[in-house]
Chains A and B, each alone.
Chain A
Amino acid sequence: MKLRQWIVALFALLRLRRRRPPSDEPGRLVEAGPPAPRGELAVIALLVLAALAAALFVVFYGIGASTQALGGALAGALGLIAAALIVAGKLLVVDEELPGHYPEPDPSEQESVGRIVAESGSRITRKRLLGAAAGTAGGALGAALIAPAVSLGPVFDPSPLYDTPWRRGRRLVDSSGEPLLATSIATGSFYTAFPQGAANSLLGAPVVVVRLPEDELELPPERVTWAPDGILAFSKVCTHAGCAIALYRTPKFEPVQPRPALVCPCHYSAFEPATGGQVLFGPAGRPLPQLPLAIDAGGALIAAGGYSGAVGPSWSGVRDEPPS
């Protein structure tokens, strides 16, 4: 009894084997391989899970769930499809490595291309002149088509680069438009000010105001009157790369860097207010432009003139006198 069962089972197994086509059938283009029902099951399961995750994403979206839930669900769906494909690639697809050939260039093809071009031009006697004419036409047309690009900006006219809204007598106001009083400027702190009645967004508009003890000032002789009561103003725009000077280094402990400095947080150019904005360290190639100050009858800070130099990052010609 037992033996018969064994024999039946063996036959069944053999027939099963025979019905599946593991052998190399002649004339096949794609290599044959054994089926992998478990792999199929795994792929199907992964795809079903992916569908569930995708549906979950829709549900999450519908109830306005968090970004984390949305991202997790969508990533889950995509990741499960990825897993299904990888399992399919590993288990359900034959693992063929086939030989092939790299393409070899054909010299006769190259030659015929050259000959077609050369022979097509055999009627032309004045090749150079024709070429020159075509080149002239092409170049002129190209220039004509590019010319309207000049409308993009005031090219050939650098004067806007020198524009600043500061004039003698113009009040310094804070960001809410209130005048800056000389008495409100404390040492060790720094203030941002704007020209009264001008747009704050102009490159030349914002200035940084600091107060130093007057005996610490080492301004050039022509600027000794520019800092009433030790109050100095500089353009807030770094002369290196145009970022706002947003840091004021005033050591409150045993100083590592001994002198107060206005520092740009983009590339850490450090400018010394005491010497009129000279570069202490960092990549800036020009001092920070200083704005001469005065104090009016009401104690408010006003500009006593324009900047000591061009505002903003350098360009060729930056050191020229601004056009008047």
Chain B
Amino acid sequence: MRRDPLQEPIRFLDERAGAAPLLRKALRYLFPDHWSFLLGEVALYAFVVLVGTGIYLALFFEPSLADTVYNGAYAPLQGRTMSEAYRSALDLSFEVDAGLLMRQTHHWAADVFVAAIVLHLLRIFFTGAYRKPRELTYLVGLTMLMAALLEGYLGYSLVDDLLSGMGLAIGYSVGLSVPVVGGDLGLLIWGAPFPGDPAFQSRMYIAHVLLLPALIAGLIGLHLALVASRHHTQFRRLGAQTERRLVGVPTFPGQAPRSLGLMFAVAAMLFALGGLVQINPIWLWGPYELALGTNGAQPDWYLGWLIGALRLVPGFDVTIGDYTLIANPFWGGVLLPGIVFAVLFALPWLERRFTGDHATHNLLDRPRDAPGRTAFGFAFLSWVFMIFVAGSADRVTVFFGIDYASQIWFYRFAVWVVPVLVFFAARRLCRELQRAEQIERSQEEAEAEGRLVGR
């Protein structure tokens, strides 16, 4: 008999690390089979691409606001005074072979990373996967989403092009708008009034390349450990699944090629986008100067809801006599994300409050199975989405000539009315779907009975 070539290394590992029982468990961990369970994996693999491309970019990027005169390959900017940061970002785009590919892929990966997290969150929300015993997994995931939003914002702010600077001015204003401590907070983070101390660039850089990625990586580890500890949730199919019994494909050999295939597919898509679809052409924006602004400036998609909110709020600061308590950017920049994340973080406990359901749930609901939750979810989503869409009102004015102020007035009401309508429509739809299923089931039963009688 031929000797198994794996036997020796497995024995080596097991005798020294006690690895065999762990490996055995890991190889036969069960993955319930549903496409929507892959959304989180897409985010994970986008993060892998982000780390890889990000390390490459860091080998060329110089996070310095020191002035320099551009003499590089891009003729329209030659002779312009700019920061070393922007100069090095231009050079790595134009003069480093594969540099532009890596930069664009990095940017695309960031957009896909957040998109995958948000879709994953929607799946978790609408199937009730955040319920006991998975609240911790859910909270860790939400924290990652917050870290990802900040990480993405810092990423495009580092480049010091015109859009970076405009985005940072808004960030600074949001910091300043925090009641009572805002001025101190802004000065603390920026080191000086905007555009801040030159060291502010170093602060952003260390946060973007070390602190936040390390935090996200650590949270990914925790997230996965928690998932594995309580196992995946599952949909009810064929009656084989129960709250105690799960049915799934083992890691090895079943799930491994699927998951690895997904990883390579995600990477392929991101590099195809990075190579073929232009994103953030920083050379068109020019270097940031405080006195410059450009029309049609839009942030990356995942901050669109915040810019929409900042634009919608009517013009007032909350003042007591001459004392400004709350500056205007607070509403859109602090309160809105505060409310959205507070509701999301509290969700498992809110739902328990409303339904009195303290049970353990390993089986997922379909959206129609929980009309209240689904209706609330769609209403909440439509609220955020309407605010997001309001952020594009300026572009609608440019492309369709609809008056900007009228649009803003429309949205100021619509963001409150639409969610209410959506709530009732979604709840109705869920109940109708439930009823239709009931009728179908009773018809089938009647038919079966009829056949029995007919015999």
Contacts and interface: CB of A to CB of B under 8 A. Distances in A.
Contacts of B79: none
A175 B111 CA distance: 36
Interface string A35-79: 000000000000000000000000001001001111110111111
Interface string A90-104: 001111111111111
Contact of B290 (A200, A265, A267): A200
A182 interface: no
Contact of A152 (B177, B191, B264): B191
Contacts of B261: 82-86, 88-89
A201 B290 contact: yes
Interface in B238-279: 240, 243-250, 253-254, 256-258, 260-265, 267-269, 271-276
Contact of B193 (A72, A86, A161): A161
Interface in A207-246: 236-237, 240-246
Given A153-B187, A160-B187, A313-B327, A75 B294 contact: no
B188 A155 contact: yes
A109 B192 CA distance: 55
B253 A281 contact: no
A102 B249 contact: no
Nearest to B192: A160
Interface stretch (A9-17, A113-121, A133-141, A314-322): A314-322
Interface in B400-421: 403-405, 408
Contacts of A163: 193
B276 A71 contact: yes
Contact of B246 (A61, A102, A158, A312): A102
B324 A318 contact: yes
A313 B33 contact: no
A81 B192 contact: no
A299 interface: no
Contacts, number: 300
A313 B230 contact: no
Contact of B315 (A83, A156, A237, A284): A284
B235 to A, nearest CB: 13
B322 A98 contact: no
Given A154-B192, A284-B328, A96 B97 contact: no
Contacts of A130: none
A290 interface: no
B276 A72 contact: yes
Contact of B294 (A72, A82, A265, A285): A265
B18 interface: no
Contact of A74 (B275, B312, B323): B275
B328 A314 contact: yes
Nearest to A286: B317
Contacts of A64: 97
A251 interface: no
Contact of A267 (B186, B246, B271, B307): B307
A243 B166 contact: yes
Contacts of A268: 311, 394, 404, 408
B231 A192 contact: no
B172 interface: yes
A316 B248 contact: no
Given A61-B98, A70-B98, A79-B265, A155 B231 contact: no
Contact of B188 (A102, A149, A257): A149
A205 B290 contact: yes
A198 interface: no
B399 interface: no
B258 A98 contact: no
Interface residues on A, range: 35 or more
Interface residues on B, range: 35 or more
Interface string B279-313: 00000000001111111110000000001001111
A203 interface: yes
A156 B188 CA distance: 9
Given A72-B275, A192-B291, A316-B183, A30 B253 contact: yes
A200 B427 CA distance: 57
Interface in B194-213: 194-195, 197, 203
A101 B192 contact: no
Contact of A89 (B172, B176, B191, B258): B258
A264 B293 contact: yes
Given A194-B291, A265-B294, A318-B324, A102 B177 contact: no
Given A97-B249, A283-B310, A316-B183, A269 B189 contact: no
A156 B184 contact: yes
Nearest to B393: A268
Contacts of B240: 99
A83 to B, nearest CB: 8
16 contacts: A61-B98, A88-B261, A89-B258, A93-B253, A94-B253, A97-B249, A101-B246, A102-B231, A102-B243, A155-B184, A163-B193, A202-B290, A246-B293, A283-B311, A315-B324, A316-B326
Instruction: Kindly list the 3 A-B residue pairs having the minimum CB-CB distance in the complex, ordered from nearest.
Output: A71-B275, A285-B317, A246-B293
Interface of B: 28, 30, 33, 97-98, 100-101, 104-105, 166, 169-170, 172-174, 176-177, 179-184, 186-195, 197, 203, 229-231, 240, 243-250, 253-254, 256-258, 260-265, 267-269, 271-276, 289-297, 307, 310-317, 319, 322-329, 332, 362, 394, 403-405, 408
Interface of A: 30, 61, 64, 67-72, 74-79, 81-86, 88-89, 92-104, 149-150, 152-158, 160-161, 163, 175, 192, 194, 200-203, 205-206, 236-237, 240-247, 256-257, 264-269, 279, 281-286, 312-320
